[in-house]
Amino acid sequence: MAAKPLPDIDTLHQLLRYEPETGKLFWKERDDVRPEWNTRWAGKEAFATTRANGYKRGCIVKRRLYAHRVIMAMVNGEWPPEEVDHINGVKDDNRLCNLRLVTKSENMRNMRRPSRNTSGCIGVYWDKGTQKWVAQIRADGRKKCLGYFARKADAIAARKDAEAELGFHENHGR
């Protein structure tokens, strides 16, 4: 089954009002619906449901959409071609100053430290076989070993140096 088409940008502007300072969307008053709709919904926050994945989501013209993508479409006048990054890592913080258009690769350079990480730093782990700390990094689809280290601090330093050299975001691994 084909996906429903995205609503056009004019429709977004007719239905929603965006507050860049708070990152919230609100329903506008409408003439094309029953008066009860306006009494119940006009002026109220839209896309107020926070999903299990942490993102705000709502529905327009029977199409479920993420708030951050709707906001970027409204601000830029077209649907985002790739991904929208939450700079501070807070998935429901949709203030304009916290959103940026990025490629998948750029977005991965601003990711949180996975919950299963035990070293405290992405790309650093203890290798039982060598009894050393290993530092590695993935960039441009390739994994690169940065070395084996007796001290965890040295492995973390090597990883941080590689992140800086490859242009990772300062928030990466927070």
Rounded mean pLDDT for each run of 10 residues along the chain, 174 residues in total = 84 95 94 82 93 93 94 96 91 95 79 79 89 87 89 89 78 63
Residues 13 and 91 in one domain: yes
* N-terminal to C-terminal alpha carbon distance within the chain: 39
Residues 67 and 136 in one domain: no
Residues 92 and 128 in one domain: no
For residue 18, the one-letter residue type is Y
91, part of any domain? yes
The CATH number assigned to the domain holding 89 equals 3.90.75.20
Domain interval for residue 72: 9-107
150, part of any domain? yes
Written as six digits, the tokens of 66 are 């993420």
Residues 39 and 82 in one domain: yes
Q: Is 131 helix (H, G, I), strand (E, B) or coil?
A: coil
What per-residue confidence (pLDDT) applies to 171?
A: 65
What per-residue confidence (pLDDT) applies to 141?
A: 77
What per-residue confidence (pLDDT) applies to 89?
A: 86
Q: Write the pLDDT tens digit of every residue in 106-121.
A: 777 667 777 788 888 8
Residues 99 and 53 in one domain: yes
Residues 18 and 98 in one domain: yes
For residue 69, the one-letter residue type is R
Residues 93 and 124 in one domain: no
Q: Domain total for the chain?
A: 2
Residues 39 and 71 in one domain: yes
Residues 118 and 101 in one domain: no
Residues 96 and 132 in one domain: no
Residues 84 and 156 in one domain: no
What per-residue confidence (pLDDT) applies to 154?
A: 92
The helix (run of H) or strand (run of E) holding residue 14 is helix 9-15
What per-residue confidence (pLDDT) applies to 2?
A: 66
pTM here is 0.75
Dist CA 12 CA 59 (whole Å): 11
Dist CA 102 CA 70 (whole Å): 15
4, part of any domain? no
